[in-house]
Structure 1
Amino acid sequence: MSPAPKHSDGLPLSTDLEPLVLRVLDAAKAAGATQAEASLSHSRGLSVSVRKSEVESLEFQRDRGLSLTVYFGHRKGSASTGDLSDSGIRQAMEAACAIATVTEEDPFSGLADRDRLATRFPDLQLDHPWDVTPDQAIEMARACEAAAMSVDARITQSEGAGLSTQRGVSIYANSHGFIGRRSGTQHSLSCAVIASDPDGNMQRDYWYDGGRNAALLDTSEAIGRRAGERTIARLGSRRLSTRSCPVLFVPQQARGLFGHFIGAISGGVLYRKASFLLDHMDKPVFSDIVTLEQQPFIPGASSSSAFDQEGVATAQRHLVEKGVLRSWLLGSYSARKLGLETTGNAGGVYNLVASHGALGYEQLIREMGEGLIVTELMGQGVNGVTGDYSRGAAGFWVENGEIAYPVENATIAGNLLEMYQRIRAMGADVDTRSNIRCGSVLIDGLQLAGE
């Protein structure tokens, strides 16, 4: 076979991965498999980190891999390999078939139903290669760190600045005749610094930007300045006494609240009966100002896709409508276990977009009047079965609608279902850098454990 054409970065075109994947499916059929699926991916990346202007690391990554799954009736076997030679593929196929022969039959296993597979593949503008050289990447990271360090003389230490750029191409195909191709990029630049006051008290903070198109990132200087300003703002942090008060989660922390929701409506925890939202379909789970919608076709978004990991067509739909739960997140296996239909969410959610009001960040602070702004959360104290929530927090205390002083070592305690239903406002300050797009979230009556 002649070498596949390549992009200027050395990766093959996604369309040119097809012959190898189809050859794998043919081999699975020849081995007696009743169904088979295979995915092939190639990726490359560059990452650099600097600290105190010195290069700490410079890494170039190039990976490729083949994953295949065979079904003999309801017996399943899977294998993967980075060796794409004929012998490497043959060994992976033999391993998958051997695994299938010794596994128990599972009546719920198998490919997604043929009539649910995607047939429409719009250009979602996910692939924006960045031909940045190592020297250029190093200089951008240095400029970012220098901007942060120059904000204030009290910034005395750096945890470094880093730049990362990744590009990948992949193809997924199965024995139903489905072929889905993807190519995409992800770029980021970040910086973290440490400030100290005359008493020797130290605070750390950071900032970053990321996205698929490097041309849309903030400048190195802007990211560095923001990191420095955030760090200085935390000097003089105090501890709060135990109290109940409103809490305003900034977008970067608010999306974690919705991340716990995503986990609770996903198929695996549902069929294992390990979710605090069991039996809540078509019932209110959020305050009625909250609507959550999956929007998989947003151009350039982090999780846009026309199909899920099984090739099932994705769809724009409400997960929560005016507070009421309207849909689970299911792949084919979990759907069959539950006696339902797949929702096209094998692999997770494809851009969760939260509703928002007209109030920006500063207006939400005035709306809150008195309470805590949470800019950082620590710990993993979330119980997905009961919804109990307890996490360390840092941020700023607000009095009379204005920030009064920074706060550290607070603990927020509550139950997620109650927290969701106490949401008073959703901010217009939407952060689009994640697969969860939301603004700040103001929640009434949360318990803070302090001194």
Structure 2
Amino acid sequence: MSEASQVGPQALPQLYETVERIIDEARRQGATASEVSVSLDQGLSTSVRQGEVETVEFNRDQGFGITLYVGQSKGSASTTGSGAEAIRETVAAALAIARHASEDPYAGLAAPELMASSLPDLDLYHPWDITPEQAIERALQCEAAAFASDPRVRKADGTSLSTHQGCRAYGNSNGFIGGHASTRHSLSCVMIAETDDGQMQRDYDYDVKRIGGELAAPELIGRRAAERTVRRLGARPVPTCDVPVLFSPDLAGGLLGHFMSAISGGNLYRKSSYLEGALGQILFPEWLSLDERPHIPRALGSAAYDSDGLATYGKSFVDNGRLASYVLGTYSGRKLGLPSTANAGGIHNLFVSHGDEDQAALLRRMGRGLLVTELMGHGLNLVTGDYSRGAGGYWVENGEIQFPVQEVTIAGNLRDMCKQIVAIGNDIESRGNIRTGSILVERMTLAGS
């Protein structure tokens, strides 16, 4: 069996057997319950810069995470070894931690009857038979296309092609065991443009897919990276004002990601979220919904089960503007007195309702304001919802882009921003776990010159 094939679905039976051995060993040593997660990964990453090969890296890793319970006390340990001695020692270490840990009345596995009983095939595994030489050639083609697009593109800041395949398995002493193999392939290009008077700007483009052959052509990614970079030349600040703000799709997903963090069980039971107790409240315009769809074939966020072994399922977190559900795993659900939403480990393919307008139409609707294409810093206070981040983008007048903007800060409160969403475009971003178009917010404070 080749090295590559050992990381595919063929590896799952052996991983399952290892998980079962660990659970048996934990029971033998005195654990009252146990859960085991296993990962096996392999990848190739190449990067070029200025026409020269910068890195070629292979990686192959495996790891076992073991969590054991002695009554309501919990201990965890990990190992990279799968031999009998490594398993015995790691189980013993986890048990020693559990026996010294305080009891937690909310700790423990999900009930056996809640465990996933069947797992759909989500078609996530598509290995890419690409050699290092071919990967380097694609990266060089991408960079060359960027340089050829515009003479003001004078420097490269790195073009990378990566291909990854891996297996995951999870099992516990309540009878669940499951796993899957998956792949992820990406190509990215970062370029630097410069004017004759020495002003420089940096921007990028990228693509990521489950199937390597479905990545955008290297030349297209290179040209888009160059175009984005050149458009940034001449950027300047604008005066402080209160104006509408349009978030580009790749940044709009991050905005909604902040909201999902605010409704996640961990932040709620720690009382560190401004949305504590908000279940059932109207938080968005009534036309807006946020739906999780975890079983989309080949999607980057798809998953058949969560980190507790519960079957994932489609659900609405926001239904016609109303907060319909928190994001809960077994533990956070118990802490809040609510059932798990099968989201231990996070959300899976969040779809955002949107209209029929493209970004150009949203610019016309906005009239005057800021199109944000870059954000810097992590200026969100989740306790209060206060939001303040460095930003770059384009100033808009009369519904049309006038010039690039830099060195400004946009500020607001996330609760207000969500309610003030005017429209969401049809320019859907599909390169991540949150699928949304451009988001137009009615008003934010822009601090500039």
Q: What is the CA distance between 1:9 and its match in structure 2?
A: 3.8
Which of 312, 316, 319 is matched with 2:317 structurally? 319
Could you tell me which runs of 5 or more consecutive residues in structure 1 were left unpaired when the two chains were aligned.
none
Instruction: Report what 1:194 is aligned to.
Output: 192
Instruction: Report what 2:360 is aligned to.
Output: 362
1:352/1:437 contact within 8 Å kept: yes
* Aligned-partner Cα distance in 2 for 1:227–1:289: 35
> Which one-letter code corresponds to 2:390 in the other structure?
G
C-alpha deviations, 1:9-48, integer Å up to 9, x for none? Answer: 4425223311111111111111121111112221100001
Could you tell me which runs of 5 or more consecutive residues in structure 2 were left unpaired when the two chains were aligned.
none
* Aligned-partner Cα distance in 2 for 1:237–1:67: 48
Answering whether residue 404 of structure 2 is matched by residue 406 of structure 1, we say yes
1:289/1:425 contact within 8 Å kept: no
* Aligned-partner Cα distance in 2 for 1:104–1:63: 33
* Aligned-partner Cα distance in 2 for 1:401–1:386: 33
* Aligned-partner Cα distance in 2 for 1:356–1:300: 22
Alpha carbons of structure 1 residues 22 and 6: separation in structure 2 relative to 1, 3 Å: farther
How does 1:294-373 map onto structure 2 within 5 Å?
294-373=292-371
How does 1:413-432 map onto structure 2 within 5 Å?
413-432=411-430
1:424/1:443 contact within 8 Å kept: yes
2:36/2:171 contact within 8 Å kept: yes
1:424/1:444 contact within 8 Å kept: yes
* Aligned-partner Cα distance in 2 for 1:258–1:139: 37
C-alpha deviations, 1:339-389, integer Å up to 9, x for none? Answer: 111111100111111111000111111221211100000111110100000
* Aligned-partner Cα distance in 2 for 1:120–1:403: 51
How many residues are treated as equivalent by the alignment? 447
Q: Normalising by structure 2, what TM-score?
A: 0.98
Q: What is the CA distance between 1:150 and its match in structure 2?
A: 1.1
* Aligned-partner Cα distance in 2 for 1:171–1:15: 10
How does 1:85-96 map onto structure 2 within 5 Å?
85-96=83-94
Instruction: Report what 1:381 is aligned to.
Output: 379
1:287/1:323 contact within 8 Å kept: yes
C-alpha deviations, 1:177-235, integer Å up to 9, x for none? Answer: 10111110111000011111122111110000001111211000000000000001111
* Aligned-partner Cα distance in 1 for 2:398–2:338: 51
* Aligned-partner Cα distance in 2 for 1:296–1:184: 15
Instruction: Report what 1:265 is aligned to.
Output: 263
* Aligned-partner Cα distance in 2 for 1:399–1:418: 24
Which of 205, 225, 228 is matched with 1:227 structurally? 225
Instruction: Report what 2:34 is aligned to.
Output: 36
2:186/2:209 contact within 8 Å kept: yes
* Aligned-partner Cα distance in 1 for 2:26–2:374: 49
Q: What is the CA distance between 1:6 and its match in structure 2?
A: 6.2
Instruction: Pick which of 332-341 and 219-228 moved more.
Output: 332-341
SS at match of 1:100: helix
1:291/1:320 contact within 8 Å kept: yes
2:74/2:101 contact within 8 Å kept: yes
SS at match of 2:64: strand
Instruction: Report what 2:51 is aligned to.
Output: 53
> Which one-letter code corresponds to 1:166 in the other structure?
H
> Which one-letter code corresponds to 1:266 in the other structure?
S
> Which one-letter code corresponds to 2:384 in the other structure?
T
C-alpha deviations, 1:306-337, integer Å up to 9, x for none? Answer: 11011011110100011110100111111111
> Which one-letter code corresponds to 1:95 in the other structure?
A
1:6/1:13 contact within 8 Å kept: no
> Which one-letter code corresponds to 2:356 in the other structure?
A
Instruction: Report what 2:173 is aligned to.
Output: 175
Instruction: Report what 2:278 is aligned to.
Output: 280
1:294/1:353 contact within 8 Å kept: yes
Q: What is the CA distance between 1:289 and its match in structure 2?
A: 2.5
> Which one-letter code corresponds to 2:156 in the other structure?
S
* Aligned-partner Cα distance in 2 for 1:362–1:120: 45
Instruction: Report what 1:24 is aligned to.
Output: 22
Q: What is the CA distance between 1:432 and its match in structure 2?
A: 0.9
* Aligned-partner Cα distance in 2 for 1:146–1:186: 24
* Aligned-partner Cα distance in 1 for 2:426–2:328: 30
Answering whether residue 113 of structure 2 is matched by residue 115 of structure 1, we say yes
Q: What is the CA distance between 1:7 and its match in structure 2?
A: 7.0
Instruction: Report what 2:104 is aligned to.
Output: 106
C-alpha deviations, 1:45-91, integer Å up to 9, x for none? Answer: 00011001111111100001111111111111111100111111111
Which of 59, 69, 72 is matched with 2:67 structurally? 69
Q: What is the CA distance between 1:8 and its match in structure 2?
A: 4.3
Instruction: Report what 1:153 is aligned to.
Output: 151
* Aligned-partner Cα distance in 2 for 1:9–1:235: 47
1:250/1:375 contact within 8 Å kept: yes
> Which one-letter code corresponds to 2:77 in the other structure?
A
> Which one-letter code corresponds to 2:232 in the other structure?
R
* Aligned-partner Cα distance in 1 for 2:359–2:311: 36
Q: Which runs of 4+ in 1 moved over 6 A?
A: none
* Aligned-partner Cα distance in 2 for 1:186–1:8: 14
* Aligned-partner Cα distance in 2 for 1:339–1:19: 35
2:119/2:311 contact within 8 Å kept: no
* Aligned-partner Cα distance in 2 for 1:249–1:241: 19
* Aligned-partner Cα distance in 2 for 1:283–1:97: 43
* Aligned-partner Cα distance in 1 for 2:423–2:315: 22
Instruction: Report what 2:434 is aligned to.
Output: 436
* Aligned-partner Cα distance in 1 for 2:252–2:150: 29
Q: What is the CA distance between 1:119 and its match in structure 2?
A: 1.5
* Aligned-partner Cα distance in 2 for 1:140–1:8: 21
> Which one-letter code corresponds to 1:361 in the other structure?
Q
> Which one-letter code corresponds to 2:441 in the other structure?
I
Instruction: Report what 2:82 is aligned to.
Output: 84
2:4/2:42 contact within 8 Å kept: no
* Aligned-partner Cα distance in 1 for 2:377–2:286: 29
* Aligned-partner Cα distance in 1 for 2:229–2:5: 37
